[in-house]
Chains A and B, each alone.
Chain A
């Protein structure tokens, strides 16, 4: 293999070997594990950067390798979209490995860094895979990593339950992906994505079923409604490094990458399917942001927002025009940036104050100024405030959804924006500006290893915002070209109607927040007027109890089914146990009663049978 192929193999193989190496390191070394992780991810980052430059200028990189005999080839093909995803994955691995040096509750750090490097290996593998089966191999193995991350972070019962929940939900999605890929491979006679895309599939018959299965699988992985329920639970039960890494960035990157592939690259969707995709996106936005608005736990609030932003990406990709798709992709990477940053701030606050509860936090601006500034920049970005990056990607999504002709999606997205801004106003006001509660006093700024990634991400927010043409020209447009779309002019400040709408969104959200604050005089209760509104109150109560949680519903169904099967098994068991042994014992006892030791009985038997035998053998002729 030549040096060019090495570029895409390094982000895959190097983290795997480094991860295994980390496992062999002794637990007591202070910084060796972190050093291995940081250096490996840095090398992967440079390698993927070089690969992106190469792919954007020269052409695709291909690599093939025989694996499992002739059943499936490990085929890697890096076109512009894959290179872009690869770069993002490596970037986030690098940043999180720096960040997690100071995270205290990440569990056994040897295993944590092994899992981190393993995730980099798996995510890079997904990003570059051309063969659907090899992609599935990499993506499915992330399920175990997911389980372990949550499991090792604490040893309480709720942690284990959440880990199992995450594992099961992702495992079911893997099953859907597997069946979908099998059907897809069967109807197109090949598993290689670039070959399937040469003659795109039309949604009819088996292809519909395949698309629905793949859609289910990838949306679950990305964390959209209704498969999102493990993310808020994980936010409660695991650490901020994990949350910043997987649900915030990697899951979204890979999920939306595959969503783009199947929606645009492999299929030409018909109208109904497009409506379904956009509908799922819109519902996700609204439902998640309404749930997020009322939360009182820092990380849980952020996790609901992560789910909500996924809806924007799905909506963007589902519009099927280049502006919308560009918006979806750009939003994907933007979301990864500012969501990770937000989770990192939450981790910093958690580390310094030992609490996540909004009731107790307050007034941290003076004590943790850098964290606060990073929070403000990321919160502004996520709310879509110009000129940060969130504004540009959201504007692209709005334009794209308007171009489809259905304004309802546009309205849903705008409502989502309103509530996003409102909840971040509440959050920021509570944590950093309000009066502090008595339980947190000697709080210092977070350590440097936590601050550096946050600052890098905020700088990226600003760069991608002010210089929005830079990422669009280098990342998004090439991806669109690789998908087969010609890009138009996508960036820049347009003072048109959309800009006015954005301004009005900001004003409405501000009004709402001030209204809520004045009612209760405490910032964290600023959402109570929505929380306790007549119909919404009951819906919120039911949601908190888990009535809408698909996972809980299925758990109840399966429990009864399992009980029933157990009863049937008992029946078979008793038949097999009881009948043979008892019957043979009865036979034995019957026979043994004849062998009583009485000599005359024996003699009688011998004589009589001897006579019978001899007559039978000798003279049967009578």
Chain B
């Protein structure tokens, strides 16, 4: 474990353990404790990050850039969810005494994942995260959320099986499961089998074709703020993070070729299938789920190149996508709360009544589609350039064409849901409470600014490799 970041993992854990004892019945105290924990962590992290970004001088930056960025993203998304849940009115649906601690444990588990230095520790915390997420998905005890949780469990336990099998096989060769030893001896046959099983396991966990079947049902069925957490960070840290880590490790082994082929194939299929299926969806959240599949495909495509540019592109797209999906899912939660439906066929003309929700959603959608000068444009550009430079020209072209389809379905969504004439039944709809909008606006601001100041961000991220 990287000792620098240990506190980021332990403090939410302690808060989570403290809440049932200290603040069992006092809802205000629970909210205060959880929000302040995450907020303090975020302020600390953003202070460090911004000071380096503004100075643009990384001589003294001794921490691992990848872990640092991941922890920053985890805290950002986590804080958004807790802050959102505070004002969303979760006490009607669930028990805050269990809800907030579960989120805090989730944050702690994710932080531990990203600071793990050997694969078994990584696996333990991934499992912890999964358990927490099973519970969180069913927060509001509705039929759809219980079905979603069951599907999530049953469709991702093969992943856990594969990963633990892979780790066991690794033990045959390396009694010490450190990442550095894996890197050194990664050309032996057993290591290759083990790493391939681990990769496939994490592919299942991140929702890549052909293992993506759980994604739409789970995202749609989960409790709305939790689907934001799920899509925003859990599937990323619990899935794609490890693949990128393995990618950084095995850059020069003969495993490269096969894994690269598989990852390219899965990636491009995810991009296409996610995009095509998203076009005909009638439910807002399900469409966002398919869009997630598509964007995860882009990340996997970038990792598949195993070049420094590809890794940087993958990490940047991961962070970006975390922000986009958080904004979109939180906004869909707002819309659902105000209008009572997430059916695209019924929603219309919401921009007149809910302007902030509408415009932040539009910014996030345009960023996902890759429109300059937002940050999504840069990350997509990096991915396509990395693919092209690596020689996978056809993949680059197909990815580029698929972004037209991305643009298409997001345009349809924007036009249908937010613009147009407001039907009479939505006349009484008001804008969501302004506290619900604060996290969304802040993250939209991050999207815009990291797009505008991309050169700073890039000089920061290029230190990953």
State the A residues within 8 Å of B (CB): 584-585, 587-589, 591-592, 595, 597, 599, 601-603, 605-607, 609-610, 613-614, 616-620
Contact = CB atoms under 8 A, between A and B. Distances in A.
Contacts of A617: 192-193, 196, 199-200, 255, 258-259, 262
Contact of A618 (B155, B158, B196, B280): B196
A592 B277 CA distance: 6
A602 B258 contact: no
Given A584-B279, A592-B277, A618 B154 contact: no
Contacts of B214: 602
Contacts of B217: 597
A114 to B, nearest CB: 43
Contact of B197 (A584, A588, A602, A614): A614
A619 B190 CA distance: 10
B162 A610 contact: yes
Contacts of B200: 610, 613-614, 617
Contacts of B280: 585, 588-589, 592
Contacts of B417: none
B216 interface: yes
27 contacts: A588-B276, A591-B277, A592-B280, A595-B216, A595-B277, A599-B151, A599-B154, A602-B155, A602-B213, A602-B214, A603-B155, A605-B213, A606-B155, A606-B210, A606-B213, A607-B158, A609-B211, A610-B158, A614-B193, A614-B196, A616-B258, A617-B255, A617-B258, A617-B262, A618-B196, A618-B197, A619-B193
A616 B262 contact: yes
Of B193, B199, B213, B258, the most chain A CB neighbours within 10 A belong to B213
A606 B162 CA distance: 12
A584 B196 CA distance: 34
A609 to B, nearest CB: 5
B204 A618 contact: no
A601 B211 CA distance: 11
Interface in B195-219: 196-197, 199-200, 203-204, 210-211, 213-214, 216-217
Given A591-B277, A599-B154, 16 more contacts: A584-B408, A585-B279, A588-B276, A588-B279, A595-B213, A602-B155, A602-B214, A603-B155, A605-B213, A606-B213, A613-B262, A614-B196, A614-B200, A616-B262, A617-B192, A617-B196
Nearest to A596: B213
B301 interface: no
Nearest to B158: A606
A592 B279 CA distance: 10
Contacts of A609: 210-211
Contacts of A606: 155, 158, 204, 210-211, 213
Contact of A587 (B158, B216, B276): B276
Contacts of B192: 617-618
B2 to A, nearest CB: 29
B77 interface: no
A537 to B, nearest CB: 65
Contact of A610 (B204, B258, B281): B204
B193 A618 contact: yes
A542 to B, nearest CB: 58
Of B200, B217, B259, the most chain A CB neighbours within 10 A belong to B200
A610 B161 CA distance: 11
B443 to A, nearest CB: 29
A83 to B, nearest CB: 59
B240 interface: no
B273 interface: yes
Interface in B262-302: 262, 273, 276-277, 279-281
A610 B211 CA distance: 8
A613 to B, nearest CB: 5
A599 B211 CA distance: 12
B404 to A, nearest CB: 9
B162 A614 contact: yes
A586 to B, nearest CB: 10
A181 B163 CA distance: 81
A56 B193 CA distance: 104
Contacts of A599: 151, 154-155
Nearest to B197: A614
A602 B148 CA distance: 13
A588 B402 CA distance: 13
B196 A613 contact: yes
Nearest to A589: B280
Nearest to B161: A610
B304 to A, nearest CB: 13
Contacts of B405: 584
A595 B277 CA distance: 10
A410 to B, nearest CB: 75
Given A609-B211, A617-B200, A591 B154 contact: no
Contacts of B281: 592
Nearest to B162: A610
Contacts of A588: 276-277, 279-280
B44 to A, nearest CB: 40
A585 B106 CA distance: 39
Contacts of A585: 279-280
A599 B216 CA distance: 13
Contacts of B154: 599, 603
A610 B159 CA distance: 9
Contacts of A618: 192-193, 196-197
B172 to A, nearest CB: 14
A607 B258 CA distance: 20
Contacts of A619: 193
B148 to A, nearest CB: 11
A169 to B, nearest CB: 47
Nearest to A587: B276
Nearest to A613: B200
A198 B255 CA distance: 83
Nearest to A601: B213
A592 B287 CA distance: 12
Nearest to B166: A614
B154 to A, nearest CB: 7
Contacts of A584: 276, 279, 405, 408
A589 B199 CA distance: 31
Nearest to A617: B196
Of A609, A618, A619, A620, the most chain B CB neighbours within 10 A belong to A618
Interface string B30-71: 000000000000000000000000000000000000000000
A269 B151 CA distance: 95
Contacts of A595: 213, 216, 277
Nearest to B276: A588
A588 B196 CA distance: 31
Contacts of B408: 584
Contacts of B196: 613-614, 617-618
Of A589, A601, A606, A619, the most chain B CB neighbours within 10 A belong to A606
Contacts of B262: 613, 616-617
Contacts of A620: 258
A48 B332 CA distance: 76
Contacts of B259: 617
A614 B197 CA distance: 6
Given A602-B214, A607-B158, A591 B276 contact: yes
B333 to A, nearest CB: 22
A605 B215 CA distance: 14
A601 B154 CA distance: 12
Contacts of A601: 213
B406 to A, nearest CB: 12
Interface in B158-173: 158, 162
Interface in B134-166: 151, 154-155, 158, 162
Interface in B414-462: none
A614 B204 CA distance: 12
Interface string B206-234: 00001101101100000000000000000
A86 to B, nearest CB: 56
A585 B259 CA distance: 32
A569 B267 CA distance: 39
